[in-house]
Chain A
Amino acid sequence: MAFTAFSANTKVADQAPRKRGWIALLLLAPGIAYMLLFFVTPFIQLAITSLQAPAESGGIGQYVAAVQFSNYWVAIQEYWPQLLRSFVYAVIATVVGLILSYPLAYLLGVTLRNRAMLQGILLILVVAPFFISLLLRTLAWKSILPNEFIGTDGAVIFGLIYNFIPFMVLPMFASLQALDLRLVEAGSDLYASPVTVFRKVTLPLSLPGVVSGTLLSFIPMSGDYVVASRSFLGSTDTAMVGNVIESNFLQTQNYPMAAALSILLMVIILVIVATYVRKSGAEDLL
């Protein structure tokens, strides 16, 4: 599946000698222009909006260009619980999700490596959730789980984990599938017990997949607001920064606040991800 491309175990190798030429520009121009217009500019726009001040006319949703950095300070002061909560949820959900997903990826990529039929069936089962609406599935949990549980931190974390298991399993599966089992044999031949072989050989060699999978999950999790919304598995006590951004943007139309919160979210994510990537030594993935 296309998601296995994210395991990025093999860097895009230097194959045929690279050609120069204007064809490259021709190929790139439309796509890049599109991205500049609809991705880069909105970002810049977001930054600008985050500095705006309310217009004198006083109407809802009216703002003028200004350089009001205080918006950020207000945002932090008012919404630090939601910010903190988002990252706590995301970290817990990522860790638990990892513990649940790695064995499944191992089963698929190592144990079932030579049983194509069974591997194929299980892979389809792992990918099947993509074929049916995420919102409907999350709502299903709302009915399945006991009522007292809904609306707690646990329920939101439960929902977050659920959403992203396939995103964690697939890259780790791709990594484990590529593991040379002769190295496992060599480890055993050199007096390492099965647990030690896992620790010293299997795990380090499957690390690219683990890093891919956790990043692909952690980042969207921190910005999620569907799971935590009151119609789904959350309550007013579980609001994440995404909920707050949504309500500020779409309901109270407090654009500067929403924008400031978005930028804050991005910056914190960047810091966390950069530290994580450097610590796990997987810089070349990016």
Chain B
Amino acid sequence: MADPQSFAEKGADLELVGIQKRYPGFTAVENLDLVIPAGSFFALLGPSGCGKTTTLRLVAGLEEPTQGRILIGGKDVSRLKPHKRPVNTVFQSYALFPHMTIQENVAFGLRRRKIGDPVGKAHEALRLVELDHVADRKPAQLSGGQQQRVALARAVVNRPALLLLDEPLGALDLKLRRQMQQELKQIQQEVGLTFLHVTHDQEEAMTMADTVAVMNKGRIEQMGAPEELYELPQTAFVANFLGQSNLFGVEVVGSTDQVLHTNLNGARISLPRSRSARESGTITIGVRPEKLSLSTHEPESELSLNVLGPGRVIDASFIGVSTQYTVDLPGSGPVEVFAQNMQAGPIAGAGDEVWLSWHVEHTFGLADDRVETGALTADLSTRAIATRASHAE
């Protein structure tokens, strides 16, 4: 892979070893160890300021790590300048050269590497993003969506071993964004490149990526396939960042070799040991709102079900596909329930007494210490709501 003068035959591995980036006053990236296998679509997900963009820039060579090494395809590129690395970036602001035509923009990297037939290859790349007909225009004459596609073509045409995408879909409207998400995934699989996609949009990350790493405050909190992260979060941050969670602080009171039993204000909550990071003492457990069943009478107790209640419905919002209930459980605070509208309309209204139940194997146990995170129940603080709202955008 070493030679940047030729096209990489396929994507290459990316390895980050002990990467640290410190600025005077704060640390952007803590000890980061990461391996991204060749040919995969990898998403780095996190809120603004978590260090994901810094990590991307370190890989691109636009910043130098304070400590640590970066290896691409086994070769240490940590000291190499950007124009010597087999990496290309799709910038958030597109960064198309305003004084060059679209064709010249896309051909730029090819010409620098003296690759044959730059014009032909540029047109090929433009055809891939369906913009061959604007090849002679200047960037200012294109719409945001078109510019974004040109930026993608400009990077992809170089067949880099590793393609970096820095929140490239941020400025697009919803419909265009969905379309581009599909196209990006398609191109990645067609061409076989390794993609590293940085975003704060959890839906985007989960739709496109093979592997997602959630970053917070300069560290990766959890990494894995999207379903794994979603169904089995290991920290309160991940549980709340990907979708919503109801979290409870509980005391472990007993166990069998398969199951842990815990006590929540007198109610018995069980979860499989394989789904709990911790096994004794005070732990935080959680369940996703869509896994909860709401009923207006107390359900029969079963070994496979966890039951909480009675509680009172504080709010019931009809969203069309589902109804979102907020239920107040004495001793535990508000709990969110997403109920699919199997029949027309909500089954309970504000003030009604209801019981919540869910399958034991849908519970997850966090690795967090209860005191550290402080967020035990579904976080209804204004800030959390705002954060969730911005993710849903």
Residues of A within 8 A of B112 (CB): 190-192, 196
| Closest Cβ neighbor of B151 among chain A residues | A186
* Residue interface bits A173-190, CB-to-B below 8 A is 1, else 0: 000000010110111111
* Residue interface bits B81-125, CB-to-A below 8 A is 1, else 0: 111100111010101111100000000110011000000000000
On whether A191 and B109 interact (CB within 8 A), knowing A185-B62, A186-B97, the answer reads yes
Q: Is there a chain A Cβ closer than 8 Å to B4's Cβ?
A: yes
**Complex CA–CA separation, A202 to B348 (angstroms):** 65
Are B83 and A183 in touch, CB under 8 angstroms? no
Q: Is there a chain A Cβ closer than 8 Å to B324's Cβ?
A: no
**Complex CA–CA separation, A193 to B61 (angstroms):** 13
Residues of B within 8 A of A185 (CB): 62, 82, 91, 95
Residues of B within 8 A of A183 (CB): 95, 97-98
* Residue interface bits B320-334, CB-to-A below 8 A is 1, else 0: 000000000000000
For the complex formed, measure the closest distance between the CB of B125 and the CB atoms of chain A, giving whole angstroms: 13
Q: Is there a chain B Cβ closer than 8 Å to A205's Cβ?
A: yes
**Complex CA–CA separation, A191 to B160 (angstroms):** 11
Tell me the count of chain A residues lying within 8 A, CB to CB, of chain B.
18
Are B99 and A189 in touch, CB under 8 angstroms? no
Q: Is there a chain A Cβ closer than 8 Å to B154's Cβ?
A: yes
Are A187 and B91 in touch, CB under 8 angstroms? no
Q: Is there a chain B Cβ closer than 8 Å to A269's Cβ?
A: no
On whether A190 and B62 interact (CB within 8 A), knowing A182-B91, A182-B93, the answer reads no
Residues of A within 8 A of B60 (CB): 189
**Complex CA–CA separation, A204 to B117 (angstroms):** 24
On whether A189 and B87 interact (CB within 8 A), knowing A182-B93, A196-B112, the answer reads yes
Q: Is there a chain B Cβ closer than 8 Å to A47's Cβ?
A: no
Residues of A within 8 A of B284 (CB): none
Residues of A within 8 A of B154 (CB): 190
Residues of A within 8 A of B95 (CB): 180, 182-183, 185-186
Point out which of A189, A192, A196 has the most chain B C-beta atoms below 10 A from its C-beta: A189
On whether A192 and B83 interact (CB within 8 A), knowing A185-B62, A186-B91, A187-B108, the answer reads yes
Are B82 and A189 in touch, CB under 8 angstroms? yes
**Complex CA–CA separation, A196 to B97 (angstroms):** 14
On whether A201 and B88 interact (CB within 8 A), knowing A188-B82, A189-B82, the answer reads no
On whether A188 and B81 interact (CB within 8 A), knowing A183-B95, A205-B99, the answer reads yes
Residues of A within 8 A of B158 (CB): 190-191
Interface residues of B in 28-76 (CB under 8 A from A): 60-62
Residues of A within 8 A of B89 (CB): 186, 189
Are A189 and B93 in touch, CB under 8 angstroms? no
Q: Which of A180, A191, A204, A205 contacts B83 (CB 8 A)?
A: A191
On whether A190 and B93 interact (CB within 8 A), knowing A185-B62, A204-B99, A205-B98, the answer reads no
| Closest Cβ neighbor of A193 among chain B residues | B83
| Closest Cβ neighbor of B92 among chain A residues | A182
Residues of B within 8 A of A194 (CB): 83
**Complex CA–CA separation, A196 to B108 (angstroms):** 11
On whether A191 and B97 interact (CB within 8 A), knowing A185-B62, A185-B91, A186-B89, the answer reads no
**Complex CA–CA separation, A194 to B91 (angstroms):** 19
**Complex CA–CA separation, A182 to B91 (angstroms):** 8
On whether A189 and B97 interact (CB within 8 A), knowing A182-B91, A196-B112, the answer reads no
Are B62 and A188 in touch, CB under 8 angstroms? yes
Q: Which of B61, B81, B88 contacts A190 (CB 8 A)?
A: B88
Residues of A within 8 A of B82 (CB): 185, 188-189
**Complex CA–CA separation, A183 to B60 (angstroms):** 14
Are B99 and A188 in touch, CB under 8 angstroms? no
| Closest Cβ neighbor of B84 among chain A residues | A191
| Closest Cβ neighbor of A207 among chain B residues | B99
Residues of A within 8 A of B97 (CB): 183, 186-187, 201
Residues of B within 8 A of A189 (CB): 60-62, 82-83, 87-89, 91
For the complex formed, measure the closest distance between the CB of A234 and the CB atoms of chain B, giving whole angstroms: 42
**Complex CA–CA separation, A240 to B322 (angstroms):** 87
**Complex CA–CA separation, A193 to B109 (angstroms):** 11
For the complex formed, measure the closest distance between the CB of B377 and the CB atoms of chain A, giving whole angstroms: 43
Residues of B within 8 A of A204 (CB): 99
**Complex CA–CA separation, A173 to B317 (angstroms):** 58
26 inter-chain pairs at a CB distance below 8 angstroms, sorted by A residue, are A182-B91, A185-B82, A185-B91, A187-B97, A187-B108, A188-B82, A189-B60, A189-B61, A189-B82, A189-B87, A189-B88, A189-B91, A190-B88, A190-B108, A190-B112, A190-B154, A191-B112, A191-B158, A192-B83, A192-B108, A192-B112, A193-B83, A196-B112, A200-B108, A204-B99, A205-B98
Known interface pairs A186-B89, A196-B112; 13 further A-B residue pairs with C-beta atoms within 8 A, sorted by A's residue number: A182-B91, A182-B93, A185-B91, A185-B95, A189-B61, A189-B83, A190-B83, A190-B109, A190-B154, A191-B4, A191-B109, A192-B83, A205-B98
Chain B residues with CB under 8 Å of chain A are: 4, 60-62, 81-84, 87-89, 91, 93, 95-99, 108-109, 112-113, 154, 158
Which 3 pairs show the lowest CB-CB distances between chains A and B? A190-B109, A186-B95, A191-B112
